[in-house]
Amino acid sequence: MEINGSKQYAHGNQPSTDSNNANKVQSTEKEVFVNHAEITWHEIRRQWVGDQSQKSKRMAREPIMSWTTTYEDLLCSTEPFQQPIPLAEMVDFLVDIWHEEGLYD
């Protein structure tokens, strides 16, 4: 039954204020989204890259290739290097050679 725009509840049909308060609390609490795929990605990357704190403590070492090494020295030699050459050092060497020959612009 409705009187003057307000609802009148019969004996057992009145909503409890406790359930209204519980609904308000639930609606104000926000669920926190956890991106499990991103967490897994970072863990796998950390395993792949390794511990960065240990890498920063390494001392810079002398280049393995001599500054006088030429492109022909590398191409004409069939002997293996005395020790592995880091990729960054080889890339720097090749870029320098390519700049000199006008192949890298």
With CA atoms as reference, report the closest residue to 71 among 45, 50, 99.
99
pLDDT in tens, 30-77: 889 999 999 999 999 989 887 766 665 556 677 888 778 887 888 788
Whether residue 78 has pLDDT greater than 80: yes
* Cα separation values, 52 from 47, 48, 60, Å: 11, 11, 15
Distance linking the first and last C-alpha atoms of the chain: 86
